[in-house]
Amino acid sequence: MTNPAFWFSWGIKLIVLGAMAVWLYRDARSRDYHWLMWTVTPVFLFFFSGLGWLLGAIFVLLLYLGLRPRGSLNGCPHCKKRVHDELAFCPFCRRSVKRECLRCHRTVPWEATVCPHCRSNALTDS
């Protein structure tokens, strides 16, 4: 097997699936959404023959985009990694990314200084 076309297609496959695994890992981990399962999926696709891996990759990406939790990613106030805005704890450093109001006990954005629900300024620090 010294055919250059063989090595070329093998290289493309490795780069595309590698980039896909890195992207899925980062995005799924930021959303705390089965990141291990999604990161190993491109490894299985690597063993598909012909162009099956490419069709599989497109299918997996569309499936992931349809299934992943909706919402934007914001920077964690502690480790600066991107975190899905519905999470109360950062999936990377495990510290809280939201404050809690000590008066009405609802969650409050990290950058808030007064509770948007009851206007109290008694918020948790960490």
Q: What residues line the site for Zn ion (CB under 5 A)? A: 76, 78-79, 90, 92-93, 101, 103-104, 115, 117-118, 120
Q: How far apart are CA 108 and CA 118, in angstroms?
A: 11
Q: How far apart are CA 11 and CA 23, in angstroms?
A: 18
One-letter amino acid identity for 20?
Answer: M
Spell out the residues 6+ positions from residue 24 whose beta carbon is closer than 8 angstroms to its own: 35, 38, 39, 41, 42, 64
3-state secondary structure of 57: helix
- The minimum distance between CB 80 and Zn ion, in angstroms, equals 7
Closer residue to Zn ion (CB): 37 or 79 = 79
- Token pair recorded at residue 108: 């409050």
Closer residue to Zn ion (CB): 27 or 53 = 27
Closer residue to Zn ion (CB): 34 or 117 = 117
Closer residue to Zn ion (CB): 16 or 26 = 26
- The minimum distance between CB 59 and Zn ion, in angstroms, equals 32
- The minimum distance between CB 54 and Zn ion, in angstroms, equals 35
- Token pair recorded at residue 72: 């934007």
- The minimum distance between CB 103 and Zn ion, in angstroms, equals 5
